[in-house]
Amino acid sequence: MKCSFQNADHLLGAITLVAEDIGICIADEEEAQLHIKVQTAETDIVSTALNGNTAEITYGGGIPRFLRGLAMLVSWYKEGTEKKIVTETPLFCTNGAMVDMSRNAVMTVSTVRFMMRKMALMGLNMFMLYTEDTYEVENRPYFGYMRGRYTAEEIREMDRYASALGMELIPCVQMLGHLATALRWNASGEYKDTQNALLVGADATYSFLEDLICTISENFTSRRIHIGMDETHDLGTGRFLDLNGYRERSELYFAHLDRIVKMVESYGLRPMMWSDMFFRLAGKDLPGYGDYDLRVVIPEDLREKVPASVQQVFWDYYRPSEAFYADTIDKHRQFTDDVLFAGGVWGWSGPCMLFSRSLRNTIPALEACKKKGIREVIATVWHNGAEANLILSLAGLAWYADFDYTGRYDEDSVRRCFRYAVGESYDAFLQTEQPEFLADSEYPVTRALLYNDPLTGLIDRHIRDIDTGAYYCGLSETMKGLAPADPFFRPAFDVILHLVSLLENKADFGVRLKTAYDSGDREELAALAEECGIIKEKLERLIESHRRAWMTYNKPFGWEVHDIRYGGLLARFATAGMRIKAYLNGDIDALGELEAERLRFDCLGEGASPFGGAFLWQRYTQMATANILT
């Protein structure tokens, strides 16, 4: 569609970047089908008006405000709308996403650019790169080694692209904990305390951190930096303890924080940080403490230790209670009025994005932010080494965008926002989570079903009474109908399709095998031995589709982990088929793995829900290690 623009010279770069996404090209007045006049406002606003083949967009507060109006306007025109006007006043001055580039998957620059365009068309204006060690630092060759780290030029390229869209690209790094992948090398020995944490107080530590800060300062235009500082539960318990003896964790934490803040500010950077450790320190004597525990009372001496110049980032993805978010925002303001809220679009529990869980917890949080006057919000999109393709998180980001501009959650409005900006069916994206919720489970299960061992089946007891085959067979037809229009999304959808196809056979394979063995059903055992071959073929198709998606969206580094996992599964089904045939042929008298009683993985007794906390991502590593993964 040909569009002309008046008073938009300062916007032509951004329009050119998104033109293909929304199906337009810039034309002169004579050739244009739609004539768009642009007006700027002094306040944060976007007003979009269409009247026949003429239109006007009035905006203030940055280019993404305009782009949201443009995406809306173009969609109206293509749908045949003759006359319409919508005026929106954003709630938040900053709204965007923090995307995990450190937990095994590092998005390519082209994928980041793709996400930025779609986000800007929603009206979102910030993108935060979470990089623990996945960025290049001069003279630190082992920092991010073989991890797909971004080069300095790649960061500058993404930064330029963000600026052209009117978005702020903010570095999100770690300067105390969450550095296990950097600290595993002997080259880090001088500044390593524990497996995850830096050695506070050591000169080598601050020389290392200065190199990081210098690199970040040089390559990002933004003068904001997220310094992390979260979940440092093992601080001072490793090499520090050997060298210096026991010291109070809070003493070490604040001494290090003060030093980091001074370093960061000396480079003209304004720091922000995760706030959870302050609440943990305040609640250290509470039995059964959980992050941001509502029982916490912030003592005055703790408030005085928190540097006033550091923005506090309150993260939570777990509670559906508006009262919880409101109360915790109030507690944050005992430290500072400069609070940013970080919710989550769950991508860290397995192959599927957990949209329903994310939505359930997002809207109460945004309602609290609205009522408490929070001006900056982000959605965190963690990976944590799971199998999900984070590109699908765009459907969840539409909640943040539409709530921002409309002041409320309305599902139809979100659908429109997503369709205007992304050009896809919002409902189709949300349906990609269905494989996770077997038998209406509250918890995601596909990762457990995928990696469950065919012979030792640690979760077989949990699914013994569920017809998994019927569930996944039915779901296969649904998944086949979800093909997106944009071919860039298709690899992500294909992974879900092939996962469901595999689970038709694999999910309850161990249950059926144990039942046949216990009952002496040799005919069924023979059929199951042959089914091992079918499962291997389906697994190969899943591997191929997952590999294609990975190489489409991410750098190749990190895929080796999935090769090892999938390779283990293929080997185990080869072994299972061989063992069953050996038993049927009389080469062995018994299958010891099938003689063993099946117990619950979560150690709960009869009558408990089949799915529970054992199926959350934190427990998968334990289960996987007991089976086939490392």
Residue 607 has pLDDT above 90, yes or no: no
Q: In what order do the strands lie in the sheet with 34-40?
A: 25-26, 2-6, 34-40, 54-60, 45-51, 83-88
Q: How far apart are CA 30 and CA 43, in angstroms?
A: 33
Spatial CB neighbours of 89, under 8 Å, sequence gap ≥ 6 = 43, 44, 45, 405, 407
Residue 626 has pLDDT above 90, yes or no: no
Annotated domain spans of the chain: 2-88, 434-626
Q: Residue 441 has what pLDDT?
A: 87
Q: CA nearest 253: which of 188, 196, 305, 194?
A: 305
pLDDT tens sequence across 323-364:
999 999 999 999 999 999 999 999 999 999 999 999 999 999
Q: CA nearest 502: which of 466, 478, 534?
A: 534
Residue 276 has pLDDT above 70, yes or no: yes
| Secondary structure tally for the chain: helices H, strands E | 24, 14
**Percentage with pLDDT > 90 across the chain:** 93
pLDDT tens sequence across 172-212:
999 999 999 999 999 999 999 999 999 999 999 999 999 99
Cα distances (angstroms) measured from residue 453 to each of 236, 339, 540, 623:
39, 46, 17, 10
Give the mean model confidence (pLDDT) for residues 567-580: 98
**Residue 311 β-bridge partners:** 272
Q: How far apart are CA 47 and CA 41, in angstroms?
A: 10
User: Do the beta carbons of residue 494 and residue 552 sit within 8 Å?
Assistant: no
Q: How far apart are CA 259 and CA 337, in angstroms?
A: 22
Q: Count Cβ neighbours within 10 Å for each residue of 564-588 and write b for 16 or more, e otherwise.
A: ebbebbeebbeebbebbeebeeeee
Fold of the domain spanning 434-626? Four Helix Bundle (Hemerythrin (Met), subunit A) (1.20.120)
**Percentage with pLDDT > 70 across the chain:** 97
Confidence of residue 4 (pLDDT cuts 50, 70, 90): very high
Examine domains 2-88 and 434-626 and report if their fold is the same.
Answer: no
Which pTM value belongs to this model? Answer: 0.96
Q: Residue 615 has what pLDDT?
A: 65
pLDDT tens sequence across 498-524:
999 999 999 999 999 999 999 999 999
164 C-beta neighbours (distance < 10 Å), count: 16
Which has the higher per-residue pLDDT, 432 or 620?
A: 432
User: Do the beta carbons of residue 63 and residue 165 sit within 8 Å?
Assistant: yes
Residue 155 has pLDDT above 80, yes or no: yes
User: Do the beta carbons of residue 71 and residue 63 sit within 8 Å?
Assistant: no
* 532 three-state secondary structure: helix
Q: Residue 384 has what pLDDT?
A: 86
Q: How far apart are CA 131 and CA 264, in angstroms?
A: 17
**Residue 59 β-bridge partners:** 40, 46
What is the largest distance, in Å, between two alpha-carbon atoms of the chain? 86
389: region left, alpha or beta (phi > 0 left; psi from -120 to 50 alpha) = beta
Mean pLDDT, the chain, integer: 95
Q: Residue 628 has what pLDDT?
A: 43
DSSP-derived letter for residue 612 is: -
pLDDT tens sequence across 333-344:
999 999 999 999
In CATH terms, 2-88 corresponds, of 3.40.640.10, 3.30.160.230, 3.30.310.50, 2.60.120.10, to 3.30.160.230
Q: How far apart are CA 614 and CA 443, in angstroms?
A: 9
**Residue 376 β-bridge partners:** 94, 340
pLDDT tens sequence across 105-139:
999 999 999 999 999 999 999 999 999 999 999 99
Q: How far apart are CA 231 and CA 40, in angstroms?
A: 44
CA atoms within 13 Å, Cβ hemisphere of 476: 14
φ, ψ for residue 415, nearest 5 deg: -55, -45
Give the mean model confidence (pLDDT) for residues 379-402: 96
Residue 224 amino acid letter: R
Spatial CB neighbours of 64, under 8 Å, sequence gap ≥ 6 = 119, 120, 121, 122, 123, 124, 125, 165, 166, 167
DSSP state letters, 262-312:
HHHHHTT-EEEEE-HHHHHHHTTTSTT--TT-TT----HHHHHHS-TTSEE
Give the mean model confidence (pLDDT) for residues 399-419: 98
Question: How far from each other are the two terminal CA atoms of the chain, in whole angstroms?
Answer: 52
Residue 596 amino acid letter: A
- The structure tokens listed for 51 are 């009247």
Q: CA nearest 176: which of 103, 238, 223?
A: 238
Q: CA nearest 344: which of 546, 128, 518, 165?
A: 128
Spatial CB neighbours of 463, under 8 Å, sequence gap ≥ 6 = 438, 449, 507, 508, 511, 610
